[in-house]
Structure formats: structure tokens, C-alpha cells
Structure 1
Amino acid sequence: MQGEYGYDVSFVQLQLGHEHAATTSLYTPAAPDYRARELDRVLTATLSRSNASLAGSPHPKEPR
């Protein structure tokens, strides 16, 4: 799983020497606008797939 800035959470866990991922999560909170940006990303991808389906074209890849 990747964190908000592209870092693999298991890599961060290893670098910090944490035995459990739950401990690492205490030090890797999401940015305040993370939910809004993620919702926008998902809605954009969903609308894109829906529009492609209505137009009869193949499904585009989901943006990252």
C-alpha cells in the first residue's frame, strides 16, 4: 500500500523499525485535503468510465 506521497507504508515501517503497521500509521497521517482529493479522483475515474461506456468505447484506465 502506498501513502499519500507515494511512499510504500511497509518501507516506512521498516525504515522506522516498527514491528506493527499500526504503529507506523500513527506517524503517517493523511493531509487535511486528502479525502477531498481522493473523492475527486474516484469520481473523475467513474464518470470517465461511464461516459466511455455510453459512447461504446473501451474503458479507459483509472487515473492515479
Structure 2
Amino acid sequence: MLEHYCGLPVPVEPVLVFVGVTDLKVVATQLSVRVYQERQVAALAPLSGVLTPEQVEQVYSVARHRQAWLQA
């Protein structure tokens, strides 16, 4: 939906962050989902984005509007 309303590719990479857990056992799957505990979120910092700051603002603006999601 974001790509449709933004008019540009909106790449998405799934990430799960578990907060307040003391032990987390991550099992490999065929899905490419990153799984972190809260204290590991800093590991995302070196990743580079693929959208310009202007594109990020455009995607954020579209994502905030309920109408975009009701059309799904």
C-alpha cells in the first residue's frame, strides 16, 4: 500500500524486538526476519537506509493516514 500511494519502491525488512525478556532462543527459519532483544537494537545502527530523508518523510506522511490502509 505504501508503494502505491507514495509512487516509489518502499523496501521492508521484518524485525522483531523483544523487550523485557531475560532469555531468547532464536531458531533459524527460511524467513529472513531479524530477531533481537532490546539490548541488541544498537546492532541495527550500521545498516544504511535506501530512502532519502525526503522519501522517508513522504512514506511517513502516507503511513499516518488511515484511508491508505482501509483501501487494502
- Check whether TM > 0.5: no
Of structures 1 and 2, the one scoring higher in RCO (CA 8 A, sep 6+) is: 2
> Whose helix proportion is higher, 1 or 2?
1
> Whose strand proportion is higher, 1 or 2?
2
Structure whose CA Rg is larger:
1
TM-score, normalising length from structure 1?
0.34
